[in-house]
């Protein structure tokens, strides 16, 4: 593991009762990298995200972020360190407008990092909304949004905490071809701005277009990790996930 | 503290019998909270309703209380179905079960208690039956029939429920709806309809529990509140949704409570249940038998 | 409107209310008024936890009665001024809130609700078995005829104190609503998991909410022994406190400080009238029916009739600090 790695997952394992959800997960992500994470349903991708971000606790192994061990750190502490995630099923704050939704990470993550100095909350909210194209709906409630708009809000809220690493959990699921391109462009732009991104998706053309590196998870284990074009030609990957 | 073997032995035996009865009282919530995730804190109120109905049947027509409770079982079932329908439309659909759903049941608990006070007053009521009074004797151990019969009835009810849940299609659907409503839909069963049945069953158990309650002790409207703690302590300790867990937890509570009452005085009994509840929540929230 | 202007407005309103009560002169106005004001504090306190964060507290009685009983203890020990007793009552109940929260708030919200019920019974049992405060037989507290430094009858003084507490509670509630804390509370209510992921320290905020809520309830209970002059566990821990305290914000509206105020004034006055004209049991029944009715049919309460999508107003949140 290189010392400069932003995220290090070392031998992480997680079980639910008798069911082993994750075993021996080991990989590192470099600053600025674009990593794709794929695998069949139930292979443990979301569990892995939850363990990295602190929503679940892994019994085995450890996670390091920016050199710091994350053991014992609650989810909100990890967010404050610069680790953000979007939820597979969007979880907006339903009684708040879009702008108010974005204020939360700014107030509670960015603000704290800045030592409670005055932060231009309104300004940053507007910038984020403009970036995802939701500026006109700033004062609407999440229930007024379409499917793709919800996904964008979800990503925008994750971005509002100004993370160094963003994990995008199936943001493109169920979207149309054009909408997929929309999200893809957004993620690429974020990466250009310096955000390291782990993209979890099933839509292979997007994954291949996006990733510099591809990790494959099957039944809780990592079976591949490397150049996307090489990985998709691997025998075991084809058998377990892609199909012939 | 007089630690004589007689006293200890009898305290434990009575505790076991009491525990059996507590299981009957709690099984309804084990279903509604454990399987349907509905926090029906009004359950004791329905039990009391059953008790008062048994009281009326017994005082006016001389009917055996347990028999009376079986007769009104369908009415309680329908009551449960009705309440669930209101609950489902008002709260589950709106996704507001935690605050307003809870407040709803709290309101029901309160309304029932106050109505019972208005109708029956605060005097204690009791029933008469041939098995209230005599006891069986096994050496130094005394088995009051007043406790034994309710315990046996409870076990019978639990056994019937367990059989229904594990053998019948409807019963297994009820178990399934707790774990995987989506799969249930794929089997062309409507989760809402199944939940209605389950909640109806839950309230139906209150009918029988009410009858055995008034056999064990005289009742008045406010004693329902004593049972909230016991019920939830048992359900949480036993692991949500597990019938055998409910029984074990009920027995544990019965013994613990009876020992406390015998050796430290009855005024400490209410704290036992809640103490166990708080302890369980703090230490092992999934209970003894529960799924995490 | 800035917080200081709001507080000034509240003080003016409170002063006007007190002046009106003095002008009417009938001592009954003060006895009834005390109860309504007490419920304003209780309902507002409850709403800080229940309405803002979504965690239901059924054990109102525990926090309220512990405040009352801490006064009994202090009264028997050395009888400090009422203000001191209120602060102590608030501190005791605040700590109890903190403790209950810490034990159970890492679990789901429903477990917290049940735990508060448990707490209530445990507290009542402990007090019932405590001879120093009278146990089940209760304690007698002599109500002074006059206030110490003001030319008021003691009951008038109690009302003044309760008015001050109301102002404090309402001001606190509104200040929370317009602060970052209020935003955090609302995220907990909407989606705790997403809140954590957004950097909100949910456990810490929940503990703050329970401590504040419990503390205010304790302060509302502290003067009670002087009001009733005889306090026993059965009446101190009466379920009617819990039902009223929960019904008032749910009927008035949980989304802002105004809801509990409306609910308390409306329901409290209704009950005082009903208790005198019909019976106290019936008036409680009415409360119960109204609670169920509103919760089923009008989830946003009375406020919801006037503001369509009523929710905690955070629009005026400027910058951050």
Q: Which residues pair with B231 in a beta bridge?
A: none
Number of domains making up chain B: 1
Q: Count Cα neighbours of A200 within 13 Å in the Cβ-side half-sphere.
A: 23
In this prediction, residue C318 carries a pLDDT of: 36
Distance CA(C236)–CA(C68), nearest Å, equals 8
Would the pLDDT of A238 be above 90?
A: no
Let me know if residue A89 belongs to a domain: yes
C306 phi and psi angles, rounded to 5 deg: -105, -30
Q: How many CB atoms lie within 10 A of CB C35?
A: 19
Let me know if residue A108 belongs to a domain: no
In this prediction, residue B289 carries a pLDDT of: 62
Contact C246, C46 (CB under 8 A): yes
The mean pLDDT value for A199-220 works out to: 92
Contact B48, B28 (CB under 8 A): no
Residue C142 DSSP symbol: P
Let me know if residue A146 belongs to a domain: no
Q: How many inter-chain contacts (A to B, CB under 8 Å) are there?
A: 3
CATH of the domain at A192: 3.40.50.300
Task: Please report, rounded to a whole number, the percentage of residues in chain B having pLDDT higher than 70.
Answer: 92
Mean pLDDT over the full length of chain B: 85
User: Which pLDDT tens digit goes with each residue over B246-269?
Assistant: 999 999 999 999 888 888 888 787
Which regions in chain C score pLDDT beneath 50? 310-321
The mean pLDDT value for A125-144 works out to: 91
The mean pLDDT value for A142-149 works out to: 91
The mean pLDDT value for B92-104 works out to: 80
In this prediction, residue C239 carries a pLDDT of: 82
- 3-class DSSP state for residue C27? helix
Let me know if residue B50 belongs to a domain: yes
- The whole-angstrom distance between C56's CA and the closest CA on chain B is 6
A69 phi and psi angles, rounded to 5 deg: -75, 140
In this prediction, residue A236 carries a pLDDT of: 84
**pLDDT grade for B270, boundaries at 50, 70 and 90:** confident
Task: Please report, rounded to a whole number, the percentage of residues in chain B having pLDDT higher than 90.
Answer: 35
In this prediction, residue C319 carries a pLDDT of: 35
Let me know if residue A183 belongs to a domain: yes
In this prediction, residue A64 carries a pLDDT of: 94
In this prediction, residue A244 carries a pLDDT of: 43
Residue B270 has which token pair?
A: 């209410």
Query: Cβ contacts (< 8 Å) between C118 and chain B: which residues?
Result: 229, 232-233, 273-274, 277-278
The mean pLDDT value for B34-57 works out to: 91
Let me know if residue B54 belongs to a domain: yes
Interface with C, mutate which of A53, A91, A169 (most C CBs under 10 A):
A91
Domain assignment of residue B209, given as a range:
5-283
- The whole-angstrom distance between B150's CA and the closest CA on chain C is 26
Percent composition of chain B: helix, strand, coil (DSSP 3-state, to 5): 75, 5, 20
Let me know if residue B289 belongs to a domain: no
DSSP string, chain A: --TT-SEEEEEEEEEETTEEEEEEEEEEE-TT-EEEEE--TTSSHHHHHHHHHTSS--SEEEEEETTEE-TT--HHHHHHHTEEE--SS----TTS-HHHHHHHHIIIIIHHHTTT----HHHHHHHHHHHHT-GGGTTS-GGG--HHHHHHHHHHHHHHT--SEEEEESTTTT--HHHHHHHHHHHHHHHHTT-EEEEE-S-HHHHHHH-SEEEEEETTEEEEEE-HHHHTT-HHHIIIII--
**pLDDT grade for B135, boundaries at 50, 70 and 90:** confident
The mean pLDDT value for A21-27 works out to: 92
Query: Cβ contacts (< 8 Å) between B281 and chain C: which residues?
Result: 103-104, 107, 111, 114-115
Please state which of the ranges A84-93, A210-219, B80-89, B283-292 shows the lowest mean pLDDT: B283-292
Nearest CA among B257, B249, B250 for reference residue B290 = B249
Let me know if residue A109 belongs to a domain: no
In this prediction, residue A243 carries a pLDDT of: 64
Asked whether the beta carbons of residue B268 and residue C247 sit closer than 8 angstroms, the reply is: no
- 3-class DSSP state for residue C33? helix
Residues belonging to chain A with any Cβ–Cβ distance to chain B shorter than 8 Å: 16-17
In this prediction, residue B290 carries a pLDDT of: 58
A234 touching C (Cβ < 8 Å): no
Q: How many CB atoms lie within 10 A of CB A116?
A: 11
Beta-strand runs (E) in C34-150: 139-140
Distance CA(C46)–CA(B196), nearest Å, equals 32
More confident residue, A17 or C242: C242
Domain assignment of residue A223, given as a range:
7-96+164-242
**pLDDT grade for B122, boundaries at 50, 70 and 90:** confident
Q: What is the pTM of this model?
A: 0.89
Distance CA(C240)–CA(A189), nearest Å, equals 59
Distance CA(A104)–CA(A111), nearest Å, equals 10
In this prediction, residue A140 carries a pLDDT of: 92
Query: Cβ contacts (< 8 Å) between C117 and chain B: which residues?
Result: 41, 228-229, 232, 274
Residue A209 has which token pair?
A: 């277009």
In this prediction, residue B181 carries a pLDDT of: 66
More confident residue, A43 or B3: A43
Mean pLDDT over the full length of chain A: 90
B105 touching C (Cβ < 8 Å): no
- Residues in contact with A181: Cβ distance below 8 Å, sequence separation at least 6, in sequence order: none
Residue of A nearest to B291 (CA): A17
User: Which pLDDT tens digit goes with each residue over A146-201?
Assistant: 988 999 999 999 999 999 999 999 999 888 999 999 899 999 999 999 999 999 99
The mean pLDDT value for B80-96 works out to: 86
Would the pLDDT of A117 be above 70?
A: no
Asked whether the beta carbons of residue C121 and residue B270 sit closer than 8 angstroms, the reply is: yes
Let me know if residue A155 belongs to a domain: no
Would the pLDDT of B274 be above 60?
A: yes
Let me know if residue B101 belongs to a domain: yes
Global ipTM = 0.90
Let me know if residue B290 belongs to a domain: no
Distance CA(C32)–CA(C19), nearest Å, equals 16
């Amino acid at each position: 593991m290189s010392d400069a790695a932003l995220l290090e997952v070392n031998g992480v394992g997680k079980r639910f009762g008798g069911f082993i959800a994750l075993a021996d997960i080991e990989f590192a992500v470099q600053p600025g990298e674009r990593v794709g994470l794929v695998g069949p349903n139930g292979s443990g991708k979301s569990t892995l995200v939850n363990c990295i971000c602190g929503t679940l606790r892994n019994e085995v192994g450890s996670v390091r972020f920016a050199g710091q061990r994350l053991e014992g750190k609650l989810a909100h502490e990890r967010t404050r360190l610069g680790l953000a995630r979007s939820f597979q099923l969007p979880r907006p704050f339903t009684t708040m407008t879009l702008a108010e939704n974005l204020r939360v990470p700014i107030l509670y993550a960015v603000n704290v990092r800045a030592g409670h100095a005055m932060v231009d909350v309104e300004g940053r909210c507007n910038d984020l909304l403009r970036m995802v194209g939701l500026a006109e709906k700033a004062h609407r409630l999440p229930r007024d949004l379409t499917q793709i708009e919800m996904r964008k809000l979800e990503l925008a809220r994750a971005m509002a905490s100004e993370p160094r690493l963003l994990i995008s959990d199936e943001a493109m699921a169920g979207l149309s071809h054009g909408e997929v391109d929309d999200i893809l462009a957004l993620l690429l732009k974020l990466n250009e701005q310096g955000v390291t991104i782990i993209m979890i998706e099933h839509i292979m053309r997007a994954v291949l277009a996006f990733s510099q590196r591809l990790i494959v998870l099957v039944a809780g284990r990592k079976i591949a990790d490397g150049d996307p074009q090489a990985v998709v030609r691997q025998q075991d990957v084809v058998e377990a996930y892609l199909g012939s | 503290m007089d630690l004589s073997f007689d006293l200890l032995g009898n305290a434990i035996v009575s505790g076991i019998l009491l525990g059996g009865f507590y299981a009957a009282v709690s099984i309804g919530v084990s279903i509604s909270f454990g399987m349907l995730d509905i926090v029906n804190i009004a359950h004791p109120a329905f039990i009391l309703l059953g008790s008062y109905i048994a009281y009326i049947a017994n005082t006016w027509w001389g009917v055996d209380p347990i028999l009376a409770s079986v007769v009104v079982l369908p009415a309680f079932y329908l009551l449960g179905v009705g309440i669930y329908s209101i609950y489902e439309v008002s709260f589950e659909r709106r996704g507001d079960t935690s605050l307003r759903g809870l407040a709803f049941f709290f309101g029901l608990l309160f309304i029932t208690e106050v109505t019972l006070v208005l109708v029956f007053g605060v005097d204690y009521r009791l029933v008469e039956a041939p098995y209230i009074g005599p006891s069986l004797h096994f050496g130094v151990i005394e088995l009051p029939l007043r406790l034994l019969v309710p315990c046996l009835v409870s076990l019978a009810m639990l056994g019937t429920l367990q059989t229904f849940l594990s053998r019948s299609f409807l019963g297994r659907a009820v178990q399934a709806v707790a774990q995987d409503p989506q799969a249930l839909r794929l089997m062309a069963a409507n989760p809402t309809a199944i939940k209605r049945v389950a909640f109806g069953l839950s309230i139906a158990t209150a009918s029988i529990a009410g009858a055995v309650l008034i056999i064990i002790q005289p009742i008045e409207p406010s004693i329902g509140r004593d049972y909230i703690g016991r019920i939830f302590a048992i359900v949480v300790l036993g692991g949500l949704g597990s019938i055998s867990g409910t029984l074990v937890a009920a027995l544990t509570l019965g013994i613990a409570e009876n020992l406390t009452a015998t050796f430290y005085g009855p005024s400490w009994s209410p704290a036992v249940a809640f103490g166990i509840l708080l302890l369980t929540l703090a230490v092992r929230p999934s209970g003894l038998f529960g799924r995490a | 409107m800035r917080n200081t202007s709001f507080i000034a407005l509240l003080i003016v309103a409170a002063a006007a209310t007190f002046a009106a009560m003095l002008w009417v002169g009938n001592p009954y106005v003060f006895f009834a008024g005390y109860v309504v004001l007490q419920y304003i504090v209780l309902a507002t306190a409850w709403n800080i936890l229940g309405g803002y964060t979504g965690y239901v507290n059924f054990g109102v009685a525990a926090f309220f009665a512990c405040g009352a009983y801490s006064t009994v203890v202090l009264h028997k020990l050395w009888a400090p001024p009422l203000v001191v007793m209120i602060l102590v009552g608030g501190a005791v109940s605040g700590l109890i809130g903190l403790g209950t929260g810490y034990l159970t708030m890492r679990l789901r919200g429903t477990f917290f609700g049940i735990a508060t019920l448990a707490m209530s019974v445990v507290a009542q049992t402990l007090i019932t078995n405590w001879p120093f405060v009278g146990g089940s037989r209760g304690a007698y507290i002599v109500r002074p005829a006059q206030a110490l430094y003001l030319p008021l009858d003691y009951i008038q003084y109690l009302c003044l104190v309760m008015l001050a507490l109301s102002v404090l509670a309402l001001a606190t509630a509104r200040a929370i609503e317009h602060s970052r804390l209020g935003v955090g509370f609302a995220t907990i209510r909407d989606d705790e998991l997403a809140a954590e992921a957004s950097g909100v320290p949910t456990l810490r905020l929940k503990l703050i909410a329970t401590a504040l809520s419990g503390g205010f309830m304790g302060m509302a209970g502290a003067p009670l022994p002087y009001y009733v002059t005889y306090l026993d566990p059965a009446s101190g821990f009466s379920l009617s406190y819990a039902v009223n305290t929960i019904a008032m914000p749910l009927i008035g509206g949980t989304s802002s400080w105004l809801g509990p105020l409306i609910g308390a004034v409306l329901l409290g006055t209704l009950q005082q009238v009903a208790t005198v004209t019909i019976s106290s049991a019936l008036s409680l029944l009415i409360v119960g029916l109204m609670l169920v009715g509103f919760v089923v049919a009008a989830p946003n309460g009375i406020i919801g009739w006037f503001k369509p999508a009523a929710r905690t107003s955070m629009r005026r949140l400027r910058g951050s600090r």
